[in-house]
Amino acid sequence: MRSVTVVRAGALTTVQDLGRPGHAHLGVPRSGALDEPAHRIANRLVGNPAHCATLETTLGGCAVRAGTAVTVAVTGAPCPVRVDGLPAAWGAAVRVPAGAVLDVGPARAGVRSYVAFAGGLAVEPVLGSRSRDLLSGLGPEPLADGVALPLGDPCGPSAGADAVPWPGPPVGELVLPLVLGPRHDWFTPEALSATLPGGGFRVSAASNRIGLRTEGPALARARTGELPSEGMVLGAVQVPPDGHPVVFLADHPTTGGYPVVGVVPEPALAAVAQARPGTPVRFVPTRGRAG
């Protein structure tokens, strides 16, 4: 059977694909790769359709031993790539011989790297997806040393790429467009016009796949009390009682009772996935549409 075996699991390495949309009414988040463009280009480089499952590493990378010769590609956060100790290319298709160890090193910039294998990771799907959802616990467990991961059959030749785009982690600060609503009227005019765009927030070390948490000034409320639980969408910026905005990411809860001041449009979320703790954050409120 085509497979790879985990030699070094890393701090948090999970299997991810494009997620399981359409189950929010059951309380199941979409999940999927946080940096979706990086996931897609990794699959393209090894000849996979975009829906094939990849590995998403967090800061420290991972290492696997190939049970059979396989073509791989590493994208997302730039990192050293080695095959049996010899340097290999990041952002390109690389052939790993049977028995060789692919070592994806610590991220040199950003947070999350993506490792695609020709044929994709063929772990058992749950509700149509192979993604690990940290909130609900669906999907395969985060990687552990010694675990064998099955591979699918190769889908075709690499589609190639003239260049692998890497917008990079936020330089200086993470600037996020914010479509106001539906509960921006729960906050004072000063909170919307001064605190949000003021650049006083930072990425909290408590951030994860559920949401990017912030530290810094509190958003002042114009209304007290809490809301009945209502639906939450990807990119929603919820404000808990401490006043520090939380940007909901792929494993976010599907409902919540804290007011949502606005929504970060999905194209901006790849940068959120690569923002390290301590990065300054500034929101730019608009009244457009998030979709």
Does one domain contain both 130 and 216? no
In a domain, 187, yes or no: yes
Question: What is d(CA 287, CA 105) in angstroms, rounded to the nearest whole number?
Answer: 42
pLDDT tens per residue, range 149-159: 999 999 888 77
Does one domain contain both 130 and 211? no
Question: What is d(CA 41, CA 179) in angstroms, rounded to the nearest whole number?
Answer: 28
**Could you tell me the CATH number of the domain that includes residue 236?**
2.40.100.10
Q: What residue numbers bound the domain in which 248 lies?
A: 174-286
In a domain, 77, yes or no: yes
In a domain, 184, yes or no: yes
Q: Which helix (H) or strand (E) holds 273?
A: helix 269-273
Provide the number of structural domains found in the chain: 2
Q: Which helix (H) or strand (E) holds 8?
A: strand 3-8
pLDDT tens per residue, range 224-280: 888 999 999 999 999 999 999 999 999 999 999 999 999 999 999 999 999 999 999
Last residue of one domain, picked from the residues 100, 116, 150: 150
pTM equals: 0.94
In a domain, 82, yes or no: yes
Identify whether the C-beta of residue 173 lies closer than 8 Å to the C-beta of residue 281: yes
Q: Which two tokens stand for residue 43?
A: 């699959």
In a domain, 167, yes or no: no
What residue ranges in 67-150 does DSSP mark as E strands? Answer: 70-76, 81-83, 86-88, 94-96, 101-104, 113-117, 148-150
Please state, as a whole number, how many other Cβ atoms lie within 10 Å of the Cβ of residue 241: 9
